[in-house]
Each structure stands twice: as C-alpha cells, then as structure tokens.
Amino acid sequence: MNECLRSHYYDEDEMHEECGVFGIYDFDGNDVANTIYYGLFALQHRGQESCGIAVSDTAGPKGKVSSLKGMGLVNEVYTPDSLSKLKGNIGVGHVRYSTAGASTIENAQPLVLNYVKGTLGLAHNGNLVNAPELRRELELTGAIFQTTIDSEVIAYHIARERVKCGSVEEAVTRALKKVRGSYSLVIMSPRKLIGARDPFGFRPLCIGKRDNAYILASESCALDTIGAEFVRDVEPGEVVTISPEYGIQSYKNMCQEQHARCIFEYIYFARLDSVIDGMSVYDSRITAGRCLAKDSPVDADVVVGVPESGNAAAMGYSLESGIPYGTAFVKNGYVGRTFIKPQQSQRESSVRVKLNVLKEAVNGKRVIMIDDSIVRGTTSDRIVGMLREAGATEVHVRISSPPFLYPCYFGTDIPDREQLIAYNRSVDDICKIIGADSLAYLKMERLPELSGGRQYCHGCFSGEYPMKPPTEDIRGDHEDFKRGSESHIIS
C-alpha cells in the first residue's frame, strides 16, 4: 500500500467503529490460523487499526502459543507464509478499533499472557467503565501492565482468580463479576475455548460449527464466510466453554432480565448480512427506511443511499414510498470504512476520495438521499453539494437514526460533544449547514422496530444509559494518541 494512504489509515479520527473477535477450536487437530484470517477478514468493518491472531496446539505442551499482531488491515499484516507458521488447532483473533488505550502495536489484541495454568489468549470487543479503578487497585498490589487497554484488566483478573478456583470458566466468571461495562470476549486456554458476553449484551457474539470445529464470532457474516453453520447467539450474561469432552457448556449465573443491545450495531456497525440475536441487520435497516418514508415523506424522483451503510435504508424508503431506488454514489472500494482526518480540510477531501457522484443518475432530478447517521456532518455537507453540482434540482436528506447527541461509554468512540453537528442545534439549523432542501431524522419511538422488540441501549441519542456512566475519563492514553496523530497528514 502507498505510504501516504497507509498513514492515513492509522491516523484517522473516525466517528465510530467497533472491534471484531473470532475464536475457533478444531477437535480434529487441524491448524486454524487460515480460518481465523478469513473470519477476521469478514469482520474487518469492525476495526481497522490493528489485528492479531494467537494459536496453540491442544495436543502440545501447555502454554505454547504462537501469535502475530500488526498495525493495519488483516490482508496487510498476514501473508500465506506468516500464516503457515502459526501452528495450532485452537486460536483467537481480533480486529481493533481503539476505545481505551492508544492505537499502538503494544495495545493490539489478542492479549497473550502466561499464568499458573499455562497461557491465555484473550480478545475483547467493548469498553469497561471501571477499568481505571480496577487497574489502580491491581497496581497497588504489585501488578505490572504491559498495555494501556482496558481489556488487560480482565485478563489479569482471570489469571488471579484461576489460582484460587478449580476451572478456567469459574475464573472467568469470577473475574467478570468485577468488571462493569461492555464486553464480548473470546478466550483461549490451553484446552478450552471460552466465550462471554456482558449481562446487558451490548455487543454481539455468536457460535458456529464447521465439521468437527466450533467457532465464536462477533457477527454471523464471519460464519458464512468460512462455511460454518450458525448454531446460536451467546446470550447476554452467558459464559460458554467449548471442549472436545463436553462440546458447548453454558453458564448463566450472570444472566439478568435487563438487556441493552447497542442499537447502533443494527444502524451502522454490523455488516448487512449478519443476524444479531435473531434480528437481521438488513431487515432492521429496511424497516428504518420504511419508517422514514412513513414519518417524513417528500415528493421526489429517486431515492439514493449513501454507501455503504445508508443503502439498505434507502431501499426501505423506496419500497414504502414507491419512489424508484437509484444509485447516485460510486464508492472507491479500496478505501477503509471511515476515512476522516483530524483536520477539517483533510476530512472534506477524504469524502471525495471515497465517493463520487453518478451524474447520469441525478441530473435534473429531485433526490432523496438516505444516510444512517450524521456525526460531524462532514459527509452530508460534501455530498449534498456534490449532488447539486451533478444537476440534482432538489436534495432531501433522511437519516435512519435519531440525532447523535451524547457520549457512548460502551464501545462507540464518539467525538467530543462540541464536534457533533446536532449538539445545540435544531434540525433546521443542521439542514441549512448541510445545504439540503429538507432534513428529517428517524424518530426515537421507532427504535424498538429496528431491534425487533429486543431491549436496546439508546444512550448516544438520549443520554440515558443502562448503568451509571463513569465519573472519570476511561479512554486512557487513547486521546493523546489521537491528538498526537495530527502530525501525519496525507498530502
């Protein structure tokens, strides 16, 4: 990859992404590194800063783990040669978008640590709200941390608990009782693969099976990619262990009635072809588009989506309104998901690098443009202008989520409030800023339809959270890095 673009990926100060986790245990003893690679490749949309794979041979000496981590995308970090050196039939993988701790190679996951019972590999999607406090406590008792990520606190607690109890799953459950916040985890112990999801179920995690191998993955699209069948979702609060002796074992003593799935998984994070907790992401986005058409109709000639995540909602709007669906934007497929620079001028040019308008499709037409969200407003502002330049006579913007107004403490890295376009502004003000003829957002009361009636977290839209927000900054050195990154600017 071109050096300029490479630094661009690493420096991006994008609005929101997630991490992806993947784990596999092949009971027949086949090497799993290649499968993890393809699993991570399918989860790349969840994190593009760094990635890692750690594998072990369950028939070999306890504690021998091979791992390889790197900065960047999975297809930049691994080669057929490097994958062939990762020998082992059990393994975990991670694609990272940092939320707590800087985006550095030291903080890349999976974490691999040696402890009394051998070696543990851990990959975490989510964000802990009490990590700084737990970290201080551990440090006061002599713990030395190797990273600045919240996830290491979980690993450390598991190791500590393991000394005191009879099984790794018990140690995991005890450790998880100490942490608060969001986590979907895949953990590799010398002889078991473990999955865990926080009691609120903020982040997704599912189980799959292929031949004589079991898989844990953030999203079901990763199971499809590797030709595995979907078995079921890990339930909020559930811990599962996977071993050849007992297959899948489930522990539910952390389960609770109240759930808080991140609604933004359905709106933006997850891939369209994933199904989370029985709700298809595609159906959710089609529903969002239909709701917009019912609540905020407007007469026009064509409905277009902003690629990628606005497309399905645009289809929903078209189906409901009867206005033809069209393609107005061509996305450069080689560009990372978010392509936003710390400096405003850089962000603006990034949008043009990512998207171009198909003039033939919009010239002389009244266009309804659907996107899933407006965060800073950079994307909408530029592309409304691009549609007009291409000859659109009217541009009506519809957004398939409510206005983004509050911080998220559970894994969505949202810019400071002052940078959110909806902060302290009316919808009319925002409409003027982005230069649209009209603007409407999805109504809050429509959100239950997007989750198919499942309980969800809407903190980023409402400021109401399912648990007490943290009282201190939980991002560690994460923001220092982001600020420091301004010096690497694409030319």
**Active-site positions?**
19
For residue 241, how far is the Cα from the chain centroid?
A: 24
Helix, strand, coil percentages in the chain from 3-state DSSP, rounded to 5 = 35, 25, 45
* Distances from the Cα of 333 to the Cα of 219, 258, 330, 356, angstroms: 21, 40, 9, 12
DSSP state of 119: E
Q: What is the 3-state secondary structure (H, E, C) of 126-168?
A: CCECCHHHHHHHHHHCCCCCCCCCCHHHHHHHHHHHHHHCCCH
When the beta carbons of 309 and 311 are compared against ligand GLN, the nearer one is 309
149 part of the interface to ligand GLN, by CB under 6 A: yes
100 part of the interface to ligand GLN, by CB under 6 A: yes
408 known ligand binder: yes
Q: Which of residues 396-425 bind ligand GLN (CB under 6 A)?
A: 411
Q: Which does 447 bind (CB under 5 to 8 A by kind): Mg ion, ligand GLN, ligand PRP, none?
A: none
What is the pattern of x (binds Mg ion, CB under 5 A) and - over residues 396-425?
------------------------------
Q: Which of residues 4-33 bind ligand PRP (CB under 6 A)?
A: 14-15
Q: Which residues pair with 275 in a beta bridge?
A: 280
User: Contact 125/99 with Cβ under 8 angstroms?
Assistant: no
C-alpha to C-alpha distance for 288 and 399, rounded to whole angstroms: 9
Among 21, 100, 306, 368, binds ligand PRP (CB under 6 A): 306
309 part of the interface to ligand PRP, by CB under 6 A: yes
Q: How many residues bind ligand PRP (CB under 6 A)?
A: 19
Among 97, 266, 268, 461, binds ligand GLN (CB under 6 A): 97
How does strand 184-188 pair with strand 193-197? antiparallel
- Rounded to 10 deg, the angle between the 151-164 and 168-178 helix axes is 130
When the beta carbons of 149 and 213 are compared against ligand GLN, the nearer one is 149
CB of 136 to ligand GLN, least distance (A): 17
What single-letter amino acid sits at 196? A
Q: Which does 311 bind (CB under 5 to 8 A by kind): Mg ion, ligand GLN, ligand PRP, none?
A: none
308 part of the interface to ligand PRP, by CB under 6 A: yes
How does strand 329-331 pair with strand 325-326? unpaired
Q: Which does 274 bind (CB under 5 to 8 A by kind): Mg ion, ligand PRP, ligand GLN, none?
A: none
* Distances from the Cα of 184 to the Cα of 27, 107, 127, 135, 316, angstroms: 23, 17, 9, 20, 30
CB of 250 to ligand GLN, least distance (A): 23
For residue 175, how far is the Cα from the chain centroid?
A: 24
Q: Which of residues 239-268 bind ligand PRP (CB under 6 A)?
A: 268
Among 44, 98, 311, 379, binds ligand GLN (CB under 6 A): 98
Containing 121, the helix (H) or strand (E) segment is strand 118-125
What single-letter amino acid sits at 194? I
User: 251: exposed, middle or buried (C-beta count within 10 Å: 0-12, 13-18, 19+)?
Assistant: middle
Q: How many CB atoms lie within 10 A of CB 430?
A: 21
Q: Which does 208 bind (CB under 5 to 8 A by kind): ligand PRP, Mg ion, ligand GLN, none?
A: none
Among 11, 150, 219, 265, binds ligand GLN (CB under 6 A): 150
50 part of the interface to ligand GLN, by CB under 6 A: no
Stretch that binds Mg ion, among 174-182, 258-266, 294-302, 303-311 (CB under 5 A): 303-311
Q: How many CB atoms lie within 10 A of CB 76?
A: 14
Enumerate binding residues for ligand GLN (CB under 6 A): 18-19, 96-101, 109, 124-127, 149-151, 411
Enumerate the known binding-site residues for Mg(2+). Answer: 309, 371-372
Enumerate the known binding-site residues for [4Fe-4S] cluster. Answer: 262, 408, 457, 460
Enumerate binding residues for ligand PRP (CB under 6 A): 14-15, 268, 306-309, 337-338, 371-380
